[in-house]
Amino acid sequence: MNIGEKYRIKYLISLFKQLQNQFDKKYNFEDGIDADLVDDVEQVLLKTYGYDDINERDYLFDAFIKNYHATGGDFDKLGVSVKPMTPQLKSYRIEENEWCDVRITNYYTLDTYNEAIVKSLLYNGYLDPDDYEQEIIECNDRDEVVKEVPKKETNIKSE
User: According to the model, what pLDDT value does residue 24 have?
Assistant: 81
Question: pTM of the full predicted structure?
Answer: 0.68
Other C-beta atoms closer than 10 Å to the C-beta of 152 total: 6
Q: How far apart are CA 56 and CA 156, in angstroms?
A: 31
Burial (Cβ within 10 Å: 0-12, 13-18, ≥19) of residue 36: exposed
Q: Which tens digits make up the pLDDT trace of 50-98?
A: 999 999 999 999 999 999 999 988 999 988 888 888 899 999 898 888 9
Q: Which letter does DSSP use for residue 78 in this model?
A: B
Using left for φ > 0, alpha for ψ between -120 and 50, and beta otherwise, residue 26 falls in alpha
> What does the alpha-carbon distance between residue 151 and residue 90 come to, in Å, rounded to a whole number?
8
Confidence of residue 157 (pLDDT cuts 50, 70, 90): low
